[in-house]
Structure 1
Amino acid sequence: MDFPFPIRKIIHVDMDAFYASVEQHDNPALRGKAIAVGGGHRGVVSAASYEARKFGVRSAMPSKTAKEKCPHLIFVPPRFARYKEISRKIREIFHEYTDLVEPLSLDEAYLDVTENKKNIESANQIAREIRQKIFEQTGLTASAGISVNKFLAKVASDINKPNGQKTIHPDRIEDFLEELPVEKFYGVGKVTANKMFTLGIFKGSDLKKKSLDELVKLFGKSGAYYYNVVRGIHTSEVKPHRIQKSVAVERTFFEDLLDEQQIDEKLNSLSAELHQRLQKNNILGRSLTLKIKYKDFSLFTRSITKEKYFSSEEEYFKTSKELWKLRPFDKPVRLLGLSLSHLNTEEKKQVSVQLKIPFKEFESY
């Protein structure tokens, strides 16, 4: 296979059921049991243990649904400070090997190890070492995917979960992608997968038969992405300085809210929390968005963008009340959220290093 892009050695590391695994590690009484982090009486599941996943419990699932699927499910309150603490330890391990680390969240990241600090030829070996160190230092397991670009590494990391790794060797990319079910392609969601099924597209070989023009007509801008990735083409580099684009806070309420005074109190509280987070990181923003989820799970958002940055808790609160007045319904509210975007972080220039990669051979995968 000829590669119309630079050949890199990319690892995608993904912690296994991270939040739930942390809770099971810290509390031995929870080990081997079906647990859900978050949720409770009115919330949604933030993470589910593998024991819970066997019953169909998934993240973002309403607690009521999760409990129906798994009656013996144990709900555990989240401890984000603890998750961040462990995430920092894991990233320190990554940086022992390379500074080209692009975190996607607390529990996953891309690493470019084409040139690495330990001069290890095999990316596969590096992934094994990293996973072993994570286990030794945190007691948690991680899975990894290794290949020539971020897309392939991301797909690969999901194949041998949990506590495994998968290398998609450069000379096996074409065969691998042709046999891969389309719902396993990163970037193909459930709705898109179902549309592909109706078109007779079930695996990569079916997708590959479609021309670029056909895919663009069928899927818009995403069509070009599908055309490229099914051929193993994905040129995005690992970006160690990801720019934060928004900061958000939200709350799901134990009882539905309808009283205006209660809404005011919650908006005031959210404004204070948002301001505190922004101050801590010296972040300012120009766009404020109010998110409302009603009792029937219908969702409403409304934003306002200013020429100058928001700068105070009072401004967030006042503006959130103005946005609240624009709501389409007077129905009971189960969730409120505030988020700030168009941040000053987007204006900070990031220095990126373009690597010149003298890739000699494939065996080092």
Structure 2
Amino acid sequence: MSRRALRPGVGDWGPDADDEGCDVLHVDMDAFYASVELLRYPELRGTPVIVGGGSRGVVLSATYEARRSGVHAAMPMSRARRLCPSATVLTPHHGDYSRVSAGVMEVFRSITPVVEPLSLDEAFLDVSGAVRRLGPPARIAQLVRDRVADEQGITCSVGVASTKFVAKLASGGAKPDGLLVVPHAETVAFLHALPVGAMWGVGARTEEALLRLGLQTVADIAHVPEHTLRRALGEATGRHLHALAWGRDERRVVASSGAAERSIGSEETFSRDVDDPRVVHRELLRLAERTATRARAAGLVGRTVVLKVRFADFTTITRSRTLSEHTDVTRDVFGTARDLFDALGLQRARLRLVGVRLEGLADAAGRHHQLLLGERPYGWREADTAVDRAGARFGAGAVRPATLLSPRS
């Protein structure tokens, strides 16, 4: 597996640059969902692969071979297929992503307890407390890359810097499968060569506003008086961008309690608009099963169930309900999502998409279920756990609710 490091560009930054005081690492998996799928289909390595839903769904991830054709995440599948007709399209396996992510986060926490996950596939690490034990930050970054590759079979890119903002930019510049160190003394030079769109917090509208002002690079922003930026972009945004343009970022890496995600969810775009509530109920059950399975695989439980509904005209609404206690039980998640849907009283409205999400996540190990009077001590969660074991041994979907056993499944 490649250990290619990004070749330094202009300036004194690169994999072998001075890492004194650069205690912040940003680690980002390379094409994470696609990379995990290649563990299942190793014969597809080196070929264009797209992970996503049906013809009306969106791209979840794509290999770099597919990205060279212009395919990117969140792109409609129909467009991705046109751009890269030779690509192999794979159905997502969300349980695999949660399992590999848990392994990756375990690697991080074995190196430093100060880990701040941003999603399943990226996190900040503060390695200041690990330097005496493991060596300088660049060496620790390479250790992270080696262990992720050896233990999980996928690659990652790592940015090493003195602040979170610069570390995140550095990991992006190191992709794929690279390592980039931005020395503390070179921070401003590194930033000033970048386009304004690279800055943290600059979305499409803010970028458009900056370009209208004639500001094309971070250096341009840095040399505009702060009061001018505040007047043009708003008080908070102007102050924020001016500080970042000079490398000032006071945010520290904040260790999480172990929940790598703010929420876990699944959604499905129907192949054609649906107005039959029985079909919607079936899909909600499928999505609830997928969501709860992912939560159990990640060792998480959630307290709030969120229903997402998108109508044929693309109008989208969400409804949520907070439960009396945390859960990872498929029956609980489905029952709540179904009740939320029924309460909408849609009267055969045509739907394009439905989704189920579990929020308010916490570690399952620290939660205890309070039995109700007369309730059996063993029940649906134990049944779900048995289904998980069967799926791990015989393949996902080996045991499923009878309602989902049809030609469509």
TM-score, normalized by length of structure 1? 0.80
Assess if the C-alpha contact under 8 Å between 1:267 and 1:320 holds in 2: no
C-alpha RMSD over aligned residues: 3.1
After superposition, the Cα gap between the structure-2 partners of 1:33 and 1:192, relative to the gap in structure 1 and judged at 3 Å, is same
After superposition, the Cα gap between the structure-2 partners of 1:319 and 1:331, relative to the gap in structure 1 and judged at 3 Å, is closer
Look up the SS of the partner of 2:102 in the other structure. helix
One-letter amino acid of the counterpart of residue 179, structure 2: Q
Task: Select 2:63's aligned residue among 42, 49, 74.
Answer: 49
Q: Determine the structure 1 residue equivalent to 2:381.
A: none
- Residue 247 of structure 2 is aligned to residue 228 of structure 1: no
Look up the SS of the partner of 2:104 in the other structure. helix
Aligned pair count? 334
Report deviation, 1:340. Answer: 5.2
Within-5 A mapping of 1:202-213: 202-213=216-227
After superposition, the Cα gap between the structure-2 partners of 1:324 and 1:292, relative to the gap in structure 1 and judged at 3 Å, is farther
- Residue 273 of structure 2 is aligned to residue 283 of structure 1: no
- Residue 125 of structure 2 is aligned to residue 108 of structure 1: no
Cα distance in 1 for partners of 2:207, 2:217 equals 10
Residues 28-52 of structure 1 show CA distances to partners (whole Å, capped at 9, x for unaligned) of: 3211111111233332111000000
Structure 2 unaligned segments of length 5 or more: list them.
1-20, 364-409
After superposition, the Cα gap between the structure-2 partners of 1:305 and 1:40, relative to the gap in structure 1 and judged at 3 Å, is closer
Within-5 A mapping of 1:1-365: 9-116=23-130, 119-220=133-234, 221-241=236-256, 245-267=262-284, 270=287, 281-285=300-304, 289-295=306-312, 298-303=314-319, 312=332, 314-323=335-344, 325=346, 332-339=350-357, 341=359, 343=360
- After TM superposition, the structure 1 stretch with the greater mean CA deviation from structure 2, 134-143 or 256-265, is 256-265
Report deviation, 1:79. Answer: 1.9
Structure 1 unaligned segments of length 5 or more: list them.
1-6, 347-365
After superposition, the Cα gap between the structure-2 partners of 1:75 and 1:10, relative to the gap in structure 1 and judged at 3 Å, is same
One-letter amino acid of the counterpart of residue 216, structure 2: F
After superposition, the Cα gap between the structure-2 partners of 1:56 and 1:89, relative to the gap in structure 1 and judged at 3 Å, is same
Assess if the C-alpha contact under 8 Å between 1:96 and 1:117 holds in 2: no
Cα distance in 1 for partners of 2:91, 2:79 equals 18
Q: Determine the structure 1 residue equivalent to 2:398.
A: none
Look up the SS of the partner of 1:46 in the other structure. strand
Report deviation, 1:151. Answer: 0.9
Cα distance in 1 for partners of 2:345, 2:300 equals 27
Assess if the C-alpha contact under 8 Å between 1:21 and 1:49 holds in 2: yes
One-letter amino acid of the counterpart of residue 355, structure 2: G
Q: Determine the structure 2 residue equivalent to 1:351.
A: none
Residues 141-183 of structure 1 show CA distances to partners (whole Å, capped at 9, x for unaligned) of: 2111000111110011011211111111110111111111111
After superposition, the Cα gap between the structure-2 partners of 1:309 and 1:238, relative to the gap in structure 1 and judged at 3 Å, is same
Cα distance in 2 for partners of 1:271, 1:306 equals 15
Report deviation, 1:318. Answer: 2.3
- After TM superposition, the structure 1 stretch with the greater mean CA deviation from structure 2, 209-218 or 163-172, is 209-218
Cα distance in 2 for partners of 1:344, 1:32 equals 37
TM-score, normalized by length of structure 2? 0.72
Report deviation, 1:310. Answer: 9.5
